[in-house]
Structure 1
Amino acid sequence: MATPAGGQPPTGVGFPTIINPTITTNNLDYAAAVHNSIAPPMTEYIAIKPIIFLHGEPTITWIKKEFEKLMVRQNLQYAVVAKFSYGRPDLYELRKAIPIQLEIKGPCNIGFLEERHILIRLSLLEDCATLMSKAWELKVRNRYFPLRFLKWDLWFNPEEETTIAIAWISFPGLPTNLFDKESLFSLATAVGKPLVIDKATNNQTRPSCARLKVEVDLLKELPKKIQINCIEEETGTVRSKWQKIQGHNLQGCWVLNPEHSPKR
């Protein structure tokens, strides 16, 4: 097929006419044509939970995994609740003071739960562990507001005290090949949920003892030791060692960290 001079295809032979939107005199018509060429979005599917009436009362049920997914969708996996002992600043002041004075490293969202409690949606596990490790004071307009942090969970009730706390545990004399995060977290699950390894352990500057923070339930009896086994695959021989677990000692904590002492 011959092409006329100037390099333009002949009209009326099946070639589409291309309009450059940057030079057309009717951009609105072009935008409408593009919009009409795109299929309309599908309606969002929402799974509605069925309501079941028992003895005339409505009930609704989720399984635990569904609840956990909802926590992630609502950015609650590292959420904490701040409880003020004697009054609190207004929300505007809190949103300015908390990230700076409490040294929160990641983004956070702060909002009221009720009169004495605020919900802080943290984005880093490290921030969650730091806030729950001690009592704090917030300074706003030359006034100090004591507060402490509680673990938010699915059934948090501001009228009840939580039994979940953060504590340091130590493994004195632990074989140094077990100082990596995977090994330490595995050992720590005997006590609670492992959170953060301390700096000296992570930097390998204190081989005499490994130390990390764990989330514990204060109502449960915590183990004092754990058995470590190593199996030789060729012979099936098992070598074992009882590893001591040292819990958090408040008096020792106050000696090493006087700012935590209740006398302050």
Structure 2
Amino acid sequence: ISVAVGWLVSQCPDSLELCSQTLQEYIEDGVDGEFGKRFYHDWKERRLAGLPSQEPGVIIELYNSVLQFLSEVASSEHLCDLSWPVTEFSEPGGNKLLPHLQWNLPDHLAWLKKAVLSFQIPYLDLPPLGAPWRPVCHMIFQYVSQIASSSHTQPLIQSQVENLLSKTYQKWKKRTTGNSDEDGPSVDEIPWDCILAVCIDHKLRDWKPPKLPVAPEAVSKDGQIRVYFFKEHLKNYTLPFSWDQARLRTQEEIRQGHQR
């Protein structure tokens, strides 16, 4: 009977346009599509032109705005209007074709929204350009300590960032050969983009669900939570103004570099 029901559901008209992914897939695909491609394209352009890293605040704002958008799509009030599925056909955790019974209740959607937003990372201001190397490194490590979800995973991200800063320092030392009054590289020599890429990658892998009561029916037998959303809604993302401005700056800096 379940096979027959599955076939019937697959033949239903697509008027609902309802899509389904596990929470992790939904986040990873959304971040890759709206953040990753833009971030790495800008990164590559700046690297090839010999430009310093994009400002950290701009990168963080782009990443966090994508998660804000994904959280709104996953908890859209339009989902509450659907009376679906028929009780007899649903199963705990739902599947690709049929959601579980709690999937569009306000409490569950509110939990989903909070879950998606918990992938966001804290804001980080660019230090003043003349800031000394050691205090800046200390500030970076303080920031990184907020990313790890537990003391068990913190050493990994700490060591990755330490490695990036060590390479930056060695490169600076080789170039200055002791002829500088500074104690280390300047703020604009720090690879903020690489550091944030490490932080974001770590956040996506090391995520822990928010400690809120989630409907037991929402969890499948293998412990997955599914997100149900309208595919069309994913096309409505609007870039933050700061990222548009950052891209214009990148193009302008590249143009100026070519004119020299």
Query: Do they fold alike, i.e. is TM over 0.5?
Result: no
Greater Rg by CA: 1
Q: Which has the higher helix share?
A: 2
TM-score, reference length from structure 2? 0.19
Highest RCO, 1 vs 2 (Cα 8 Å, sep ≥ 6) = 2
TM-score, reference length from structure 1? 0.19
